[in-house]
Amino acid sequence: MPTFLSRMLLFSPVSYTILIATGEHMIQIIGTKKCKETSKALRACKERSFCFQFVDLSQRELSIGEWNAIFSATEPESLIDTSSPFYIKNGYTFREFSIREELVEHPQLLKTPILRNKGKVCVGFNLDTLSEWGQA
């Protein structure tokens, strides 16, 4: 197989997902393009040439498998952004609700970015974690 085919770039315009087709594990960055912290994570991966996949929550929803992987790796309470305008506007401070159900129905409640790699999850931008995962 020619070397240029062993490492080719795949682009899906529907989900704005960038995949580099190699045998390496890939970092998944979940967030929105408008989020500054998500932009930092994307920039860090590009500058360091890490293999990554960007999931834009404004373009597509997470699958059930992705939600299950996130919930099994971290506490759902740590995923909620209590300072988000959506959280405040809809009165979640004074409500009793199932965190998992609300996060699935309203991903606007998520702290972003959510970084995933090999069954591990990191909530928020953390350059040390990102560098560790990218070099592994």
Fold of the CATH domain 3-73+111-135 = Glutaredoxin (3.40.30)
Report the C-alpha gap between 22 and 128 in whole angstroms.
Answer: 23
Report the C-alpha gap between 106 and 86 in whole angstroms.
Answer: 9
Single-letter residue type at 65: G
26, 88, 118 from 66: Cα distances, Å: 14, 26, 12
The backbone torsions φ and ψ at residue 10, rounded to the nearest 5 degrees and listed phi first, read -110, 135
Residue 16 pLDDT exceeds 90: no
- Token representation of residue 100: 């998992």
Q: What is the pLDDT of residues 27-77, one digit of tens each?
A: 999 999 999 999 999 999 999 999 999 999 999 999 999 999 999 999 999
Smallest CA-to-CA distance from 80 within 70, 65, 58 is with 70
pLDDT category of residue 24 using cuts at 50, 70 and 90: low
| Maximum C-alpha span of the chain | 60
